[in-house]
A and B are shown apart, each in its own frame.
Chain A
Amino acid sequence: MSDTAEADFQALLRIAGISFSEERYPIMLDAYRSWLKLVEVLDEPLPMAVEPAAAPRLEPPLKAMGK
């Protein structure tokens, strides 16, 4: 996993447009590996109907409510 993870790590940093010093690089790579472990559960499938919590709730315009 380590080779792939490091390549992905470098790609993600490049896409984000950020970098770290040589000294901090291994610490951030280690953090990335911990991150991958944490988010494993996000790859578990959810029922298709489950919607995100962030979906906005719209209200009809005041005019349509007769106000």
Chain B
Amino acid sequence: MSTPAPLPGLAESSRMIAEGSTTPTALVEQALGRIAALEPRLNAFITLTADRALAAAKAAGAEIAAGRRRGPLHGVPYALKDIYDVAGVPTTAHSRVLLGNTPTQDAETTARLEAAGMVLMGKLSTHEFARGGPTDRLYWPSAKNPWKLDHFAGGSSSGSGVAVASGMVAMAMGTDTGGSIRAPAVYCGITGLKPTYGRVSRRGIVPLSFGLDHAGPLTRSAEDCAMSMQVLAGHDPGDPGSAPVPPGDYLAGLKDGIRGMTIGYAKAFNAGFAISAEAHAAQEEAVEVLRGLGARVVEVTLPSMRHMEAATWTILQAESFAIHQEHLRKTPELYGRVTRERIALGAFVTGPHYVQAQRLRSLLTEQMSAVFQHCDAFLCAPVGGTAPALTDVDEGPWRKQQPLTAPFNLTGHPALCVPGGFGANGLPLSLQFVGPAFAEAVLLRIAHALETVTDHHTRRPPEAWA
């Protein structure tokens, strides 16, 4: 049997359902066929909820046929990183530690997507507890990059990136504590949004670091991402970090273009890291495209990376260790080596350093916010280049190159990664746009404008391996 075609993106699936050229059941059957064909190589899923999906699709189809369409997401297949709770479906965090853990309640985000009528296809691979690495020996295998199986898919929301890039689902949810939505989006050639801290609820999601965890979507386009945010954004009194602000409208100005906008270019930030020549060229090319679209591009200077790194990793290490200390003491053998060692770094954090990191965070957040006095958003590199070969991924407890995505977890500003070209090896390159707090709509507008004059987001991974 031949492999079914990739599932259309979220907006396209929605349009097809609306015009009657497809049904939720047809989309779910296509998704299941595609998952069955590709999954043996890609390992995107930990739990496939096929029966549940078919039943939900049938119910959605009946509702829509009866004129009770809930909204544009009704009947569209999606999947969740396996740290999001779904009532009655195991949450494993890709770890033996949580074997047998079946929640009785949905995460707030799950509940919102389900209420919108989306159809859950299953739970996706992650790095263990969103902290481990791609070659750790775990109970389930790691997700593989559909562009090149022996290259890094990014993490920790690796299954989310892989499932969307390979057309198994129209949208997937990830989480991002230092770059875990954006890195898989970058390496899998799709769009990934880390919203503002507090914009999307984290209730019912296995935590890694309370102060740095963000939940957000991975999609094939800016419009798909905006449609997801229409449902996901909003205050949740059950999440202590949730911001009591209006949810925002991500579609209203999406197609208005960027003429007259001022976009910063954090050139000096990029220059401080080992960015490949082709990644640098992609950034420079994006600057010219943005100018061509009518934006004014100005160079901006970001706060000290050295201070941002120290504050970020102090908070992350201390909080993740506090969460896992009991398990690490009693059942360390249940963790993969990479996860165990990385989380153990939190044992080195002293009380005064944790407080200093939180104080520094206040100052650095103010400094980052001040950058937006000069621009509506800014562009910077998300990673050093294309996905590295798995044999070159740094899986030591201490990573020599800290992620360029992490500063915005510290300051909480929204950050969006979008396809930005391809390297000589055929693997995707990406751009990172960062905006003022709660200005996700501005980032999506920039991304959509880029999509109108480039085709990077339309390219699909070759499936020679399938």
Interface residues of A, Cβ cutoff 8 Å to B: 9, 12-13, 15-18, 20, 24, 27-28, 30-32, 34-36, 38-43, 46, 50-54
The reply on B396 being an interface residue by CB < 8 A is yes
Give B442 Cβ to nearest chain A Cβ, in Å: 24
Q: List 27 A-B pairs, Cβ < 8 Å.
A: A16-B325, A16-B328, A16-B329, A16-B344, A18-B325, A18-B347, A20-B344, A27-B396, A28-B397, A31-B396, A31-B397, A31-B398, A32-B348, A36-B348, A38-B309, A38-B313, A41-B307, A42-B311, A42-B356, A42-B357, A43-B356, A46-B356, A52-B355, A52-B358, A52-B362, A54-B211, A54-B361
B361→A53 contact, CB < 8 A: yes
In the complex, what residues of A have CB within 8 A of residue B341's CB? 20, 24, 27-28, 31
In the complex, what residues of A have CB within 8 A of residue B345's CB? 31, 35
A51→B362 contact, CB < 8 A: yes
Q: Per DSSP, are chain A's interface residues mostly helix, strand or loop, or mixed?
A: helix
B360→A42 contact, CB < 8 A: yes
A-B residue pairs, 6 tightest by C-beta: A52-B358, A16-B347, A31-B398, A53-B361, A42-B356, A31-B397
Q: Per DSSP, are chain B's interface residues mostly helix, strand or loop, or mixed?
A: helix
Residue ID in chain A nearest B307 by CB atoms: A41
B325, B328, B352, B397: the one contacting A27 at CB < 8 Å is: B397
Interface residues on B, range: 20 to 34
Q: Which parts of B11-39 form the interface with A (CB within 8 Å)?
A: none
A16→B321 contact, CB < 8 A: yes
Give A12 Cβ to nearest chain B Cβ, in Å: 5
In the complex, what residues of B have CB within 8 A of residue A31's CB? 341, 345, 396-398
When each residue 313-350 of chain B gets 1 if its CB lies under 8 Å from chain A and 0 otherwise, what string results?
11000000100010011001000010001001101100
The CA-CA distance from A24 to B396 in the complex, in Å, is 10
